[in-house]
């Protein structure tokens, strides 16, 4: 019985993955979706905070409060950047070549360049002499 337990405990355990590994294209698509969702949620949060501060916070009669002016001055470039980045991600191609453009470029840069064969040696030609027989014509 002890021998059986020793054999069972010492037997190597083989763990098989439940699913096959994802391809580069699938990983790139998941990354793009994750980044897009994060940027969209951030942009939506900014919009709602700005709308709340405009609608529900009491402002001076003829102007905006100085702290709100600084807040808007800070938020406008951030929202513009997020909108541009989000539209760039969403408009990027969805094909395998578009998703793996960076990966393909780095592989191409790392690949050894093919060496052209040396040119063949020049062929020496013997000069040809014209024999003039003196006739005109």
| Per-residue pLDDT tens digits for 9-61 | 888 777 777 777 878 888 888 888 888 888 889 889 988 888 887 778 777 77
Return d(Cα 40, Cα 30) in angstroms, integer.
Answer: 15
Q: Report CA 93 to chain centroid distance, whole Å.
A: 11
Closest by CA position to 27, among listed 18, 17, 35: 35
1 SS3 class: coil
What is the pLDDT averaged over residues 111-126? 76
Please report the pLDDT score of residue 98 as a whole number. 58
The whole-chain average pLDDT of the chain stands at 76
Distance set, CA 38 to CA 22, 26, 79 (Å): 22, 18, 13
* pTM for this entry: 0.49
């Amino acid at each position: 019985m002890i021998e059986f337990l020793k054999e069972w405990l010492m037997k190597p355990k083989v763990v098989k993955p439940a699913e096959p590994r994802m391809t580069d294209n699938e990983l790139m698509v998941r990354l793009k979706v994750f980044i897009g969702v994060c940027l969209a949620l951030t942009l939506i949060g900014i919009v709602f905070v700005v709308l709340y501060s405009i609608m529900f916070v009491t402002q001076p009669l003829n102007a905006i409060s100085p702290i709100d002016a600084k807040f808007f001055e800070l938020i406008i470039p951030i929202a513009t950047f997020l909108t541009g980045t989000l539209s760039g991600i969403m408009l990027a191609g969805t094909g395998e070549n578009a998703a793996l453009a960076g990966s393909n470029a780095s592989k191409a840069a790392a690949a050894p360049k093919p060496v052209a064969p040396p040119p063949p040696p020049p062929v020496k030609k013997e000069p040809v002499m014209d024999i003039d027989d003196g006739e005109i014509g």
